[in-house]
Amino acid sequence: MNGEWILKSNKEVKVIDSSGSPIENTVLSPLSIYNLAAKEQDHKMIVFTEPSTNDRQTFSKFLVVKDMDISIGRTKKNDVVLANQFVSATHAILSYRHGQWSIVDKNSTNGSFVNGTRVKSRKINMGDMIYIIGYKVIVGSCFVSINNPDQTISIDGKVLKPFINQPVEATDGEEDYEVPAIDYFYRSPRFKRDVEKAVMKIDSPPQNAIGEEMPLMLVLGPSVTMGMASMATAIFAINNAMATGDYSRAMPSIDMSCSKLLGTILWPVLSKKYDIFLRTNVEQGYFSLLIMRV
């Protein structure tokens, strides 16, 4: 806020002032420590502020030539002197024994941290980082890398030897050899294919092999005409038989006329029903074939 950092209290954590009383907020200053009190927790919490400068991000390498103990603290009797008021007189001991690193905190006020965790004593692996109030120490196999904030560190050269880079000397007569490039990984391009659309072709209905349906009146017309003639013949034969009294001679004419009358009605009706039956079968066969294709 307005170019300043402000530390505020909340429901879980309170900011504590120098008198030990909780306060609502405070403006942060560089190279300062602020005490915090967490709800339902007894351990101590602090916030240390420091500026972001290049010397805090730059590390120098120092070699360890034998097994030893390296004392770290504020007073000049230590092997590594940290000129910071928040560092204890003898803050911690960093030990190297048979290729194994370890650290012991000497009951310092503000603690020693390894990879962000406060420790009393702990074995240290290669690549672990020790943090002591703004000072960082990265541990290697037989060396340590240390930053130097504000040039406030003094190191005893008899204990830790500065690492000196040795220049690479070129051998006479050695030919330059260029290692061929190898493609260790090749990613094939991805092609986006268009989705093929299914095309369904529906055939037109087959032509009517039976022909157009003939009206019933046209089908019955000729039969009715012949039937009326047969009926007239039958009536004439019956009247003649009644007049003469000889029915035996009229029976053939009567039988023929009745047969013609029966055929006049029966056969056209049967032909009509058969025609409807054929048309229905043809339509059902076409729709069945259409469904199988779909």
Evaluate if residue 30 carries a pLDDT over 90: no
Q: What are the pLDDT digits (tens) for 162-215?
A: 888 777 666 665 666 677 777 666 666 666 666 677 777 766 665 655 556 666
Count the alpha carbons within 13 Å of 182 in the hemisphere toward its beta carbon.
2
pLDDT at 269: 74
The alpha-carbon radius of gyration of the chain (Å, integer) is: 58
pLDDT at 131: 95
Question: Where do runs of H (alpha helix) occur along 83-174?
Answer: none
Give phi and psi for 26, each to the nearest 5: -155, 150
Of 206, 148, 161, nearest to 70 (Cα)? 161
Query: Which pLDDT band holds residue 38 (cuts at 50, 70, 90)?
Result: confident
pLDDT at 123: 95
The percent of residues above 70 in pLDDT, for the chain, comes to 67
Question: Mean pLDDT highest for which of 151-155, 183-187, 189-193, 228-232?
Answer: 151-155
Evaluate if residue 72 carries a pLDDT over 90: yes
pLDDT at 246: 67
pLDDT at 119: 94
Q: What are the pLDDT digits (tens) for 85-133?
A: 999 999 999 999 998 999 999 999 999 999 989 999 999 999 999 999 9
Evaluate if residue 285 carries a pLDDT over 70: no
pLDDT at 20: 85
Q: Which residue has the higher pLDDT, 43 or 114?
A: 114
Q: How far apart are CA 199 and CA 236, in angstroms?
A: 73
pLDDT at 283: 62
pLDDT at 177: 66
What are the Cα distances from residue 67, in Å, to 64, 70, 94, 161?
Answer: 8, 10, 11, 13
pLDDT at 8: 92
Q: What are the pLDDT digits (tens) for 237-278?
A: 777 767 776 666 667 666 676 766 666 666 677 777 777 777
